[in-house]
Amino acid sequence: MLFRVCARLIAGVFFLIWLGGCATPQTQSLLKTYSRQLPQQVELSKVPFYPQETHQCGPASLAMTLNAGGAKMTPQDLTPQVYLPGLAGSLQVEMLAATRRNGFLAYELAPKLDDLLTEVAAGSPVLVLQNVALSWYPVWHYAVVVGYDLKREEIILRSGLERRQVLPFTTFEHTWERAGYWAMLALPPGRMPRTASEAAYVSAAVAAEKFIPPKSAEAAYDAALKRWPRNLSARIGLGNAAYAQGNWKRAEKAYLQATLDHPKSAIAYNNLAQTLAEQKRYPEALALANQAVLLGGPEQDAAKNTLDQIRKKMRK
């Protein structure tokens, strides 16, 4: 689901206080169970702060998150990329796309408070979406979580005009829950989220591949394969990144491993055939392309085209 964001939080204090009395299951579970697994207190004090202009919490929050990862961006740089004047705000899809366009991996967290705090404890600020009002009268707002204190049961954010907004866990959970528990990391390619799942991380790398340089894509896929060495998408992605850089030997190695791990993958055989053809190893390439065609599936037309191209080169 996509959300409109965000009004300046002039009335935010009233709404946040009003939200204090309902059930907060994630907070209660965290304090009973996961608190023993986390540092008791963390604050990422070096995360920069940009006070938001009216309706500009999206660019401001994203600039803080990207700069914490090594970028040099201002909210003004990001406004054309994420701000939609017709909506007077920014949608999540724009926040994700802008992260990728600026060379970072956009990783959406699982909707779990303990995962969010685990990432902060690992040194990563977390960009969150909140509804700081009511379900029937929403005020959508982006902020950046930079710390927490388990003993005091508080969370620390860069938010609105406040460099250091401190909220009770319970209040934060209300605002976060009413925005669908949405949160994301902006990570340099190759850095793995502490809470990463295989499917989510590889999907994030695939989504970033078309925007980031091939060398960065290679780092992202390398990180995935260190943890999940048999992941087909990551192995193919690693080969594609090497191929895009003209590194035929590294691409060959990646695609060959893909055929060994996944002998029914037509795309692995097809890409390996193309890579060998680039090295003028046509007989080997022809056999692999034939195998890709025989395997069939959605890649069969591409495999047939590869086979035709190899035959043409062999006739020259």
pLDDT given at position 87: 77
The SS3 of residue 165 is strand
Q: ω before 6 within 30° of 0 (cis)? A: yes
Mean pLDDT by 10 residues, the chain (316 residues): 45 46 80 81 97 86 96 93 83 95 97 96 97 82 96 96 95 94 97 97 97 97 98 98 98 98 97 97 97 92 94 88
- Domains of the chain, start order: 12-187 (3.90.70.10), 221-315 (1.25.40.10)
* Six token digits for residue 60: 């401001």
β-pairing, 154-159 with 140-149? antiparallel
pLDDT given at position 133: 80
Encode burial over 212-222: b for 16+ CB neighbours within 10 A, e otherwise.
bebebbbbbbb
CA distance 153 to 92: 28
Per-residue CA distances from 228 to 95, 199, 267 (Å): 28, 10, 19
* Six token digits for residue 143: 């902020």
pLDDT given at position 183: 98
pLDDT given at position 32: 82
The SS3 of residue 253 is helix
pLDDT given at position 88: 76
